[in-house]
Chain A
Amino acid sequence: MSLFRHRRLVDRLGRGLCGLATLLALVPLVSVLVWLVSHGARGLSFALFTELPKPFGEVGGGVGQALLGTGIMVGVALLLSMPLGILAGIALAEGGKSRFVQIVRFVADVLAGAPSIAVGVFVYTAVVMPMHGFSAFAGALALAVLMLPTITRSTEELLRLVPIHLREAGLALGLPAWRVTLSVTLKSALPGVATGIMLAVARAAGETAPLLFTAFGSQYWAWNLSEPMAALPLQIFTLASSPFEAWHQQAWAAALVLVTLVLLANLGARFVTRRARGGMAL
């Protein structure tokens, strides 16, 4: 009898600890969000989005050039990585269980797990040094290298979820295999594939380390891909590392903008996948 009570006690305790661990895990998230809102909201202003940073001592200013820079570099990175990633994902999904597919899949996983700072070093030695200077193009390239394996793998997994009978129906209608791949298989998987790309974009938009010595950052409006360019995370780093209270305030505001963008992309992606799943079930 007492043995049973002991066992029941242990059962309760074990379950309680797991629940407690879950609560504990959420503490940092709540803390981060609370600080972002309480400190960031105060710094939000129209100028934050439209103006350049002001030298210290002057009031106001914004991070407009960093928002623009992030937009440009992530956009270029997307243009570089998306076609390649989707094509590679198709090759993996349609290549069966061949040795080539296994190798490429493993390589993609390794690249996805690679430290982003090391990718920055690679782009520095491969692009920045030969071109004798930091450039937005180098930054975009580093982001593209980080996005490529993610897009490849998520595209592959979503293509594999498309029922084989849809593909066969397309082939049996006399459509060439490549059209079936694009117009039937990829089309069916499109919501999910778009989600994967959106998540990769969100992640790239938040990357700092690979931009440190590729895009380098800038305090001016920049459109030219061959010049240094600002990015929102880089700007937050600069602002936070300064000794000035007003800049810290701006760092929180910029971080609030960044996190809002990233979390919206994540939640949006979840929403799209859920709807796509609902629609796919016959």
Chain B
Amino acid sequence: MAASLNPTASTHSVADRWFRGLTVAAAAFLVLLLLAILLQLGRAALGALQVFGPVLLTGRTWDPAGATFGILPFVYGTVLTSLLALLIAAPVALGVAVYLAELAPEGAKAPVTVAVELLAAVPSIVYGLWGVFVLVPWLRDTVQPQLQTWLGFLPVFSGASIGFGVLAASLVLAVMILPTLAAISRDVLLAIPRAQREAALALGATRFEMIRDAVLPQALPGIVGAMMLGLGRALGETMAVTMVIGNRADISLSWFAPAQTMASLLANEYAEATEELHLGALAFVGLSLFAVTLLLNLGARGLVRRVAGSAARSPGGAR
């Protein structure tokens, strides 16, 4: 039996082989690009890593003038704002997804879908602008004082209310990742076979019971995957966060306090950095961010695919 799969290839014209080669080369270029990014960031970060070692990750002091670099405050700020954003956005997004997949009347489906897509299409900088001039004043003058009055005994709601800070950043992030969460969750819900729903309804379940007991448990891995993708987006989001988080390298318990994320650190300092160690430490931040989103993507796509069967499609949107 012939060894090669397609022993006839050799009779194809030169043009065909060239074209095929060209397309394959273009596809291979993407792989090379990913490798180049990882290598380049790694190389740029190497110097700082050699000098500081693990302290780069665990150090709490970031002082470019004193040549001391520890990125823990930024890791803290990034993780805190992203998780808070997820906490705020996930229930709302799940509600939207269930509404779109199961409940919406035909006439409402298209407009709501378009609106959610537009929410994703608004550029990050515009959310930043809105955050600075609409959200921050509202938080400062209305929301945070109220929270302090009623829940002030909680350390997270303590401190001066200046508006710029963790809470503002988390809310903006929540708005920005909501379309991603909602769109993927809806796709996952729609992928659950009809038969399952009908079986539940035939047993006398109400619509809500059917969703809760038959649809959601099956969709769960996919929804977790959607959340991981949303988290990945929140971790790397830059402009809107930079504009509302207050940019201070502190680790504070209070959600009213200014903080800084890894992405906003890069946005603030990279263009001005000149010292080799400083640049290296910043490149390390970029590399970490890239690596974490890569891992989240890897896990998330596996989960979503397990439910939805086909490749996970991430809707376009602001980063």
Contacts and interface: CB of A to CB of B under 8 A. Distances in A.
A/B contact in complex, CB under 8 angstroms: yes
Interface of A: 7-8, 10-11, 13-15, 17-22, 24-26, 28-29, 31-32, 35-36, 39, 83-85, 87-88, 90-92, 94-95, 100-101, 103-122, 124-126, 134, 145, 148-150, 152, 157, 176-178, 181, 199-200, 202-203, 205-209, 212-213, 216, 233, 236-237, 240-241, 248, 251-252, 255, 258-259, 262-263, 266-267, 270
Contact of A109 (B16, B27, B233, B314): B314
B16 A178 contact: yes
Interface in B16-42: 16, 18-20, 22-31, 33-34, 36-37, 40-41
A126 B36 contact: yes
23 contacts: A10-B206, A11-B208, A18-B96, A18-B98, A29-B122, A35-B134, A84-B26, A85-B26, A88-B26, A95-B27, A106-B301, A107-B34, A115-B293, A118-B41, A118-B286, A118-B287, A125-B41, A152-B30, A206-B318, A212-B270, A233-B123, A255-B129, A259-B122
B95 A20 contact: yes
Interface of B: 12-13, 15-16, 18-20, 22-31, 33-34, 36-37, 40-41, 43-44, 91-96, 98-100, 102-104, 112, 114-119, 121-130, 132-134, 175, 178, 182, 206-209, 211-212, 229, 232-233, 235-239, 243, 263, 266-267, 270-271, 282-283, 286-287, 289-290, 293-294, 296-298, 301, 311-314, 316-319
A258 to B, nearest CB: 6
Question: Which of A18, A91, A200, A203 lies at the interface centre, i.e. has the most chain B CB atoms within 10 A of its CB?
Answer: A18
A119 B211 CA distance: 41
Contacts of B20: 177-178
A251 B126 CA distance: 9
A25 B37 contact: no
A235 to B, nearest CB: 9
B127 to A, nearest CB: 7
Nearest to A108: B30
A111 B134 contact: no
Given A32-B126, A91-B24, A116-B238, A104 B31 contact: yes
B105 to A, nearest CB: 11
A122 B41 contact: yes
Q: State the main secondary structure of chain A at its contact with B.
A: helix
A113 B41 contact: no
B197 to A, nearest CB: 15
Contacts of A14: 208, 211-212
A212 B267 contact: yes
B109 to A, nearest CB: 11
B243 A240 contact: yes
Given A87-B26, A113-B232, 6 more contacts: A35-B130, A84-B29, A115-B235, A121-B282, A134-B271, A240-B132
A206 B123 contact: yes
Contacts of A108: 30
A20 B98 CA distance: 12
Contacts of A84: 26, 29
Contact of A255 (B118, B125, B319): B125
Nearest to B238: A209
A94 B16 CA distance: 13
